[in-house]
Amino acid sequence: MRDSIVQALVWVLRLVLPARGHHSKTAPPTPEPVPASPWTRPWTAPSSREVRAIFRDEHTRELPELQRERVYAAEFAALGVDYDYPTMPLGSLVKRERVAA
């Protein structure tokens, strides 16, 4: 019997009295994020001096085109940059044949 009286009294007090504590406060407004400028990050690509040194190497210029592209790819890989053979003639290396269905 006492439990039911206490529960009823607690229920009435919750309705009558406002809540107290941190949960009743309104949250402060959040500031709008400022867009990051690309100039605040450090430059991660190779410098123009490094790229020119790769393409102007005298030893590399004397090589056949396919080997030259492979040397370019190896040099760029040493710098941590992907070089995807943009001038390599893949049509002569990859041949597609029709499959009889």
The answer to whether residue 15 sits within a structural domain is no
pLDDT of residue 94: 46
Q: How confident is the model at residue 49 (pLDDT cuts 50, 70, 90)?
A: very high
Helix (H) or strand (E) holding 76: helix 65-79
CA nearest 72: which of 61, 36, 10, 17?
61
- On whether residue 96 sits in a domain, the answer given is no
Q: Is residue 54 part of a domain?
A: yes
Number of helices and strands in the chain (H, E): 5, 0
Residue 50 forms part of a structural domain = yes
Domain count across the chain: 1
pTM over 0.75: no
The answer to whether the beta carbons of residues 45 and 81 sit under 8 Å apart is yes
13-44 pLDDT, tens digit each: 888 876 666 665 677 778 888 887 777 777 77
Give the range of the structural domain holding residue 65, as residue numbers without chain letter.
Answer: 45-84
